Structure 1
Amino acid sequence: MSRSVEVEVLVKQGCHLCEDAVAVAREVCAEFPVELLEHDITEKPELLSSFAEEIPVLRINGQVKDFWRIDPQRLRRLLREALAGS
C-alpha cells in the first residue's frame, strides 16, 4: 500500500544549482503521485541556520536525502522506496 510522500527542495534566490535541482525534481516528481514543495531558506531562519552551506537540499518526508545536485535516477529510486513504505 502506498502512502503520502512529500518532496521538498530547499533553495535560495539567485542560486543556479537550486534552479537546476528544482527542474530535476519537478520532472521526476511528475512521474509519481507526490507533492513537490519549494522553500526559500532565507524566509525561514531555522532553515537558513541549518542549510546555508548545503543548498539546494532535497528532503523526502522531512528527511534530508541529497544536497547540491539531485540525481534523477537516485530520486526515482528514493520515491519508489518511499511510496512502497520501505
Structure 2
Amino acid sequence: MPAVVRVELLTRPGCHLCDDARAVVRRVAEQTGVGWQERSVDEDAVLLAEYSELVPVVLVDGRRHAYWTVDADRLRAALTGPRRGPTWLRR
C-alpha cells in the first residue's frame, strides 16, 4: 500500500534551492514512511500567484511548513509529531 501523501514540494524548473529541498524532503519522507509529491508552481496559476517568490515551498498536511530552505529535523518533527487538523477545527 503506497504511503499517504502528506508532504507537497512546490518548485520551479532551474531552481537550485529546489534541488536541495527535494533531496531533504525525499530523505525525510523515506525515513518516516510518509508519501510526498512535487508540483511546479509554473503549472498552476493559483500556486504561481501565491508562491512564486518563495519556492521551494514545503506544505505538510496542506499547510505551509517551510520556504526557501528545508530543515530536515524540523520536517521530521512535523511528520512524526501529533497531526494538526484544519484551523477551523481548533479552539
Q: TM-score, normalised by structure 2?
A: 0.83
Moved over 4 A (4+): none
Aligned to 2:39: 39
Aligned to 1:69: 69
Name the amino acid aligned to 2:35.
E
Any idea what the Cα deviations from partners look like across 1:2-39, whole Å, max 9, x if unmatched? xx551001000000000100110000100112111000
1:5-84 aligned at under 5 Å gives the runs 6-81=6-81, 84=82
Which one scores higher on RCO, CA 8 angstroms, separation ≥ 6?
Answer: 1
Separation (CA, whole Å) in 2 of partners of 1:31 and 1:66: 19
Check conservation: 2:24, 2:70, Cα contact below 8 A: yes
Q: Report the number of matched residues.
A: 81
Separation (CA, whole Å) in 2 of partners of 1:33 and 1:27: 10
Gaps of 5+ in 2: 85-91
Name the amino acid aligned to 2:23.
A
Check conservation: 1:5, 1:60, Cα contact below 8 A: no
Check conservation: 1:41, 1:48, Cα contact below 8 A: yes
